[in-house]
Structure 1
Amino acid sequence: MKSLSIGALALARAISTVTRRLKPALRKATLLAFFFLHPLQAAPPQTDFTQNLGQQLPDLTFTNSTGTQVSLLSLTEKRPALLVLGYYRCPMLCGVVMKSLVRSLQDIRMSVGTDFDVIFVSIDPRESPSLAAEKKKSYVTYYGRRSSAAGFHLLTGNPDAIQQLADTTGFGFVPTDDGKEFAHPSGVLVLTPGGTISRYFLGIEYPPTDLRLALVEASDGTIGSPADHLLLLCCNYDPLTGRYGLAINRLIKAGCGLTFGALALFVIRSLHRERRKS
Structure 2
Amino acid sequence: MKKNLFTLGLLFLSLLSLGQPFGNEIGIDEHLNDTLPLDLAFSNEQNQLVTLRQLIDRPTILAFVYFDCPGLCSPLQEGIADVVGKTDLVLGKDYQIITISFNFKDTPEKAAQKKANFITKMGAENAKSWYYLTGDSLAVVKILNSVGYKIKITGLDYAHPSAIIAISPQGKITRYLYGTSFFPFDLKMAVVEAQKGISRPTVNRILDFCYNYEPEGKRYTLEITKLVGIFTLIVLGAFFGILLIRNRRKSKNTTSN
SS of the equivalent of 1:88 reads coil
Pairwise CA distance, 1:119: 0.3
Indicate conservation of the 8 Å contact 2:24/2:151, yes or no. Answer: no
Structure 2 CA distance for aligned equivalents of residues 133 and 187 of structure 1: 22
SS of the equivalent of 2:97 reads strand
Task: Find the partner of 1:69 among 22, 45, 49.
Answer: 49
Distance 1:163 1:150, change over 3 A: same
Structure 2 CA distance for aligned equivalents of residues 196 and 128 of structure 1: 27
Task: Find the partner of 1:148 among 126, 135, 138.
Answer: 126
Highest relative contact order (Cα 8 Å, sep 6+), 1 or 2? 2
**Does 2:81 align with 1:102?**
yes
Query: 1:200 aligns to what?
Result: 176
Query: 2:32 aligns to what?
Result: 53
Say how many residue pairs are matched.
Answer: 183
Distance 1:116 1:242, change over 3 A: farther
Amino acid at match of 1:55: D
Pairwise CA distance, 1:129: 0.5
Indicate conservation of the 8 Å contact 1:57/1:73, yes or no. Answer: no
**Does 2:166 align with 1:187?**
no
Task: Find the partner of 2:185 among 192, 209, 221.
Answer: 209
Structure 1 CA distance for aligned equivalents of residues 154 and 190 of structure 2: 34
Amino acid at match of 1:239: T
Percent of residue pairs bearing the same amino acid type: 29
Q: Deviations over 1:93-147 (max 9, x none)?
A: 00011101211111011122222110000011111101100111222213x2451
SS of the equivalent of 2:109 reads helix
Gaps of 5+ in 1: 1-43, 222-231, 244-278
Distance 1:186 1:215, change over 3 A: same
Query: 1:117 aligns to what?
Result: 96
Query: 1:131 aligns to what?
Result: 110
Distance 1:220 1:113, change over 3 A: same
Structure 1 CA distance for aligned equivalents of residues 94 and 116 of structure 2: 20
Amino acid at match of 2:77: M
TM-score norm. by structure 2 comes to 0.67
Task: Find the partner of 1:239 among 198, 202, 205.
Answer: 202
Query: 2:12 aligns to what?
Result: none
Structure 1 CA distance for aligned equivalents of residues 65 and 29 of structure 2: 16
Distance 1:214 1:101, change over 3 A: same
Structure 2 CA distance for aligned equivalents of residues 98 and 111 of structure 1: 18
Indicate conservation of the 8 Å contact 2:174/2:200, yes or no. Answer: no
Pairwise CA distance, 1:89: 1.0
Gaps of 5+ in 2: 1-22, 207-257
Q: Deviations over 1:137-184 (max 9, x none)?
A: 222213x2451122010000000100010000000012113xx21011
Task: Find the partner of 1:158 among 136, 149, 155.
Answer: 136
Distance 1:150 1:137, change over 3 A: same
Cα RMSD of the aligned pairs, angstroms, is 2.1
Pairwise CA distance, 1:191: 0.4
Amino acid at match of 2:161: P
Pairwise CA distance, 1:45: 6.4
Amino acid at match of 1:84: A
